[in-house]
A and B are shown apart, each in its own frame.
Chain A
Amino acid sequence: MSFDLTAHRRGLVVAPAGCGKTQTIVDALKRGVAGVTLVLTHTNAGVSALRERLKKAGVPSGAYRLVTIDGWALRLVANFPQLSGLVVAGLPKIDYPALRKAALKAVVSGALDQPVAATYQRLIVDEYQDCCLDQHALVLALADRLPCCVLGDPLQRIFDFRPGSLPDWDTRVAVDFPVVETFAEPWRWRNAGERDFGLWILRVRDELLAGRGLDLRSAPSNVTWRQKPADANELANAQRDAVLRLKPSAGEGLLVIGDSRRPSTRSDFARKTAGLHVVEPVDLNDFMGAAAELESCRGLERLKATLRVTKEVMTGIDMTALGKRLDSLHRGTAHNSATASEAACLAMLADDGPAAAARVIEAFAREPGARIFRRQIMTAMIDALHRAASKGVSVTEAAIHVRERHRATARALPNRAVGSTLLLKGLEAEHAIILDADDMNARHLYVAISRASKSLTLFSSSNVIRPR
């Protein structure tokens, strides 16, 4: 790739999905330009993924400092409470909007101009479409002090939960950072031997950007359109059928893109579809909820709560039958001796400590009929319970610790995963299935179709999709 990020004093690089954005950053740092480059992105997962890439490319770690925007702001504010007007030390919870404003205050004070210039040679900000107004202001302030290039794609802007929280792309972002390059080569598809598929996705992107629809009639053979049956059961069967029929070759992955607003429909789909695993949000809400529930009760209630979370992450548990068995085992009237999982349940009735709860989940996971489809939640729960037992802390405290550790590590994607555009953005696989394309706006639709490098299956009511 010939484009050189470091050649521009200030600029915006428009980078559609799969067009070598990350590689451009790697190349910029690999060029061995003098000084340290500050690389900012949005999520800890993004930091981990980029760090991994840089390491693999052999970029010396001294050539860059890689951190989230908020992480950088937090360190700055913590180091200069007076300059920033905010004391974060000892706060139980970080007020991010206040944090960003405080960091901005410290930077524009001018007090740190010399250290900033001495520390960093230039600034690169990734995933710029996800910058909120305050983050944009902070990056702009830094751009007044350092050469700065930002990379992003307005059509991948899907984290716009509150209207007006993001700077307008055309009138703000592209004005403050003039466009210096728009990538147009679909490297991801080209590398997979599917350049035409990639070019089609780029054409679709243009159409969607222009406010027009997605016409599947002109799609290459990589794309399969499945018309949604009117009946909900039939739709569910067809969706399941599409997943089961897809037989990726070894090493290939499949992403199933479900409803971004109703996580439960996705876990239901995974429960009923062999081989699928659920991609969890970074805040692991379901896990935290289950941990709180476990902590709130004792004895039999706690066993029930443990069984509920077990049932939530794996198949093969019949609560009614289990209840009867436990009852007869307890009274000594059972014909068959207790299975390992039943024994664990009985043990927990005698001692309801967190370690016993962990052993219940572990025992059920080992049962031959069990298929675990929310492994991340299960592992986190077992970790948290063991941690609570060994450290003598509450289950909730242990859960927070486990979640924070999880937040900081790169997401390892299951081979066949079900998630949503919000969860799968930035991730990629050879194959993708969009369970219902009717329900998506243009940006969600673009993020969804650009996940797959080889085959894409869409369910929609028409072969010409007009996004909301």
Chain B
Amino acid sequence: MALIRLLELEHFRGIASGVLIPTPGINALIGPGDSGKSTLLDAIDLVLQPRRSASFGDADFHNLDVGKSIVITVTLGNLPPTLLDLDAYGLFLRGWDAGLGGVFDEPAATLEPVLSMRLTVTGDLEPKWSLYSQRAEAEGVAKDLPWSDRVAIAPTRLGAFASHHFSWSPRSVLNRLSDQRASAGQALADAARQARAAFGAQAGVQVADTLKIVDETARDAGVPGGEGALALLDAHGVSFSGGAIALHDAQGVPLRSLGVGSSRLLVASLQAAASDAAKISLIDELEHGLEPYRISRLLHRLGSKTPPSDRQVFLTTHSAVVLRELAASQLWRVLRGPDGRVSARGIGGEEEDQKTVRANAEGFLAPNVLVCEGPTEIGMARGLDLYWTGKGQASLAYLGVAVCDGNGSNMFERAACFGRMGYRTALWRDSDVPLTTAQQTRLDEGGVTQFAWAAPYSTEQQLFHALSEEAILALLDIAEEFNGADSVAQHCKNHGVTVDRDVVVSLGLSASERDALGRAAGKGKWFKWIEPAEKVGRTVLGPYFEKGAAPLPKVLADLRAWMMHDAPGADGEDNPVVI
């Protein structure tokens, strides 16, 4: 059954123009709020959902400018034979080039035959659905798919609330499970008549005065029928449609009173079961109301682990749990450029991309990513955040900065991966090992900003070299707190240095003593996990770094400046890519 090859939007809500080239299988749309993820889902829904009409308002036009039309085009491939009919759709068949990611107006032997469906809304707010090809437009020929074909390709949508799927209402997934239809039919019509009979004239007593006036007025005016009018149950008022028939549990409780999570899980699973009929599913905020284990179960039902099939799921998510369950190739980062152009970029299908998603799922959900070499830098970044927040400054969360673990030598790939995806990315590393040319190139390609020390210092060495004696004593306090005084003393001794706090305060530390301490800290792994490093950041680096020796103040000031640059993705991003 038909799959979406290309989605194009013009002038729709927050999107001046936008393009999505999805894959078969799951397409998870991620990106900061207001980037247009839900608008993309709405766009697909509006074009493909069989409707006689839909209500549009001025707010659906980009920037409220109703002078320009909303145009949403969905190009469908993998067409069933009925949609490939030369006689019916010859003028509309087009060719899809998967390699180029583009549509040619006519098919070719090397291209996949596709049909483009277009929704146009002009300033009069009247939506028009039609097949589209350039040549049909040039000839002024307009044609829509017949209703039955539109129903066949219609997507099912799972919004925040799923309860309407539990009755046989027009867009319920229940209608997709089989060809059977619940019909109010004769039985309900009879029930309505019985209700009318049972109700009888009892309302007459309640409105006796009104009836009397009607009676008198009708006599007066000579209107036959108005005289002696009765108040009865209006048979037309008791109307039943398929929507009146709903699923109930064995005790007769309607299923729509299930919890949000349970009902969404059940409906999504039903969507998966209905996939023979409905190949395209739209799911808003997949994680909404679901515990992590139910998220993975649901994704599994939707085909997260099966190879790309002939069905398609479009979902939006803000959950790292969802990301970890998916392959990198199933993720799309939705980006909005300053000009309102929205594009969706694939996270990529390489092994490194996959590892990055698994290890740093949170990073993919923020516009800015700070990749740290290891726990020391992560902890210090968090500590600094706490320090700055305590000073009343903006937090990393507020600034949209995710701190990610680069896991040592993997940090280059991790940072480069984020950078390629268009995230504003920085890498914070130490400088004990010089970068290879290849690593440098990868980082440059990703547009990654680097924060590093003076070579060849490790982070510990840099701290012990650059901070004041007072700060160093605080570092030693933290080292002793987390490692034990004896252990710290032993490490110092091993590196040929003993620390006498009074002497340090009165005489200061020599360069060689600082160097030995730096080595001892590194070798002894004093700060190589998050907790001590966080404390270092909050209680030492924060208060003392500005008075430290070069390059410490500048590195951290630059890092802070990078964090404060809060326009999401503003300069880490090159031109929005039309993929």
A interface residues, Cβ below 8 angstroms from B: 65, 75-76, 78-83, 89, 109-116, 118-120
Contact = CB atoms under 8 A, between A and B. Distances in A.
30 contacts: A76-B90, A78-B91, A79-B90, A79-B91, A79-B93, A79-B135, A80-B107, A81-B106, A82-B105, A82-B106, A83-B106, A83-B107, A83-B108, A109-B108, A109-B109, A110-B109, A111-B95, A111-B106, A111-B107, A111-B108, A112-B86, A114-B113, A115-B84, A115-B86, A115-B113, A116-B86, A118-B79, A118-B84, A118-B85, A120-B86
Contacts of A116: 86
Contacts of A79: 86, 90-91, 93, 135
A111 B90 CA distance: 12
A116 B87 CA distance: 9
Contacts of B81: 118-119
Nearest to B111: A111
B139 interface: yes
B107 A112 contact: yes
The secondary structure that dominates the B interface is loop
A113 B95 CA distance: 13
Contacts of B87: 65, 75, 119
Nearest to A82: B106
A57 B107 CA distance: 38
Nearest to A90: B139
Nearest to B139: A89
B145 to A, nearest CB: 15
Given A118-B85, A119-B85, 20 more contacts: A65-B87, A76-B86, A76-B90, A78-B91, A79-B91, A80-B107, A82-B106, A83-B108, A89-B139, A109-B108, A111-B107, A112-B107, A113-B109, A115-B84, A115-B86, A115-B93, A118-B82, A119-B84, A119-B86, A120-B86
Q: Which of B85, B86, B93, B107 has the most CB of A within 10 A?
A: B86
Contacts of B105: 82
Closest 5 CB pairs of A and B: A110-B109, A79-B90, A118-B84, A118-B81, A111-B107
Nearest to B105: A82
Interface in B62-103: 79, 81-82, 84-87, 90-91, 93, 95
A82 B108 CA distance: 10
Contacts of A120: 86
Contacts of B95: 111
Q: Which of A113, A115, A118 has the most CB of B within 10 A?
A: A115
B558 to A, nearest CB: 56
Contacts of B107: 80, 83, 111-112, 114-115
Nearest to B82: A118
B106 A80 contact: yes
A10 B423 CA distance: 60
B175 to A, nearest CB: 25
A65 B87 CA distance: 9
Contacts of A82: 105-106
Q: Which of B87, B105, B109 has the most CB of A within 10 A?
A: B87
A38 to B, nearest CB: 9
Contacts of A81: 106, 135
A40 B109 CA distance: 25
Interface of B: 79, 81-82, 84-87, 90-91, 93, 95, 105-109, 111, 113, 135, 139
A289 to B, nearest CB: 34
B2 to A, nearest CB: 13
A34 B106 CA distance: 29
A423 B263 CA distance: 73
A285 to B, nearest CB: 32
A112 B89 CA distance: 12
A439 B87 CA distance: 45
B143 to A, nearest CB: 12
A115 B139 contact: no
B109 A115 contact: no
A51 to B, nearest CB: 15
A312 B82 CA distance: 53
Nearest to A113: B109
Contacts of B139: 89
Nearest to A87: B135
B113 to A, nearest CB: 5
A113 B109 CA distance: 8
Contacts of B85: 115, 118-119
A180 B105 CA distance: 41
A115 to B, nearest CB: 4
A114 B84 contact: yes
A388 B317 CA distance: 68
Contacts of B91: 78-79
B104 to A, nearest CB: 9
A113 B113 CA distance: 10
Given A111-B95, A114-B113, A118-B81, A80 B108 contact: no
B106 to A, nearest CB: 5
Nearest to B133: A79
Contacts of A80: 90, 106-107
A48 B105 CA distance: 34
Q: Which of A79, A109, A118, A119 has the most CB of B within 10 A?
A: A79
B308 to A, nearest CB: 20
A65 B90 CA distance: 14
Nearest to B135: A81
A118 B88 CA distance: 12
A116 to B, nearest CB: 6
B142 to A, nearest CB: 15
Nearest to B87: A65
Contacts of B111: 111
A90 to B, nearest CB: 9
A346 B47 CA distance: 66
Nearest to A78: B91
B89 to A, nearest CB: 8
B414 to A, nearest CB: 43
Contacts of A83: 106-108
Nearest to B107: A111
Nearest to B80: A118
A75 B93 CA distance: 13
Contacts of A110: 109
A114 B95 CA distance: 12
B1 to A, nearest CB: 13
A402 B82 CA distance: 36
B113 A75 contact: no
A311 B91 CA distance: 48
Q: Which of B84, B90, B107, B111 has the most CB of A within 10 A?
A: B107
A117 B413 CA distance: 48
A111 B111 CA distance: 7
A361 to B, nearest CB: 39
Q: Which of B90, B91, B105 has the most CB of A within 10 A?
A: B90
Contacts of B84: 114-115, 118-119
Nearest to B95: A111
B346 to A, nearest CB: 27
A8 B8 CA distance: 46
Contacts of B79: 118
A118 to B, nearest CB: 4
Q: Which of B91, B95, B111, B135 has the most CB of A within 10 A?
A: B135
A76 B89 CA distance: 11
A387 to B, nearest CB: 26
Given A79-B91, A81-B135, A119-B81, A111 B86 contact: no
A108 to B, nearest CB: 10
Nearest to B108: A111
A120 B113 CA distance: 16
Contacts of A113: 109
A128 B107 CA distance: 30
A119 B113 CA distance: 13
A65 B86 CA distance: 11
Contacts of A118: 79, 81-82, 84-85
A110 B91 CA distance: 17
A55 to B, nearest CB: 19
A79 B115 CA distance: 14
A279 B81 CA distance: 44
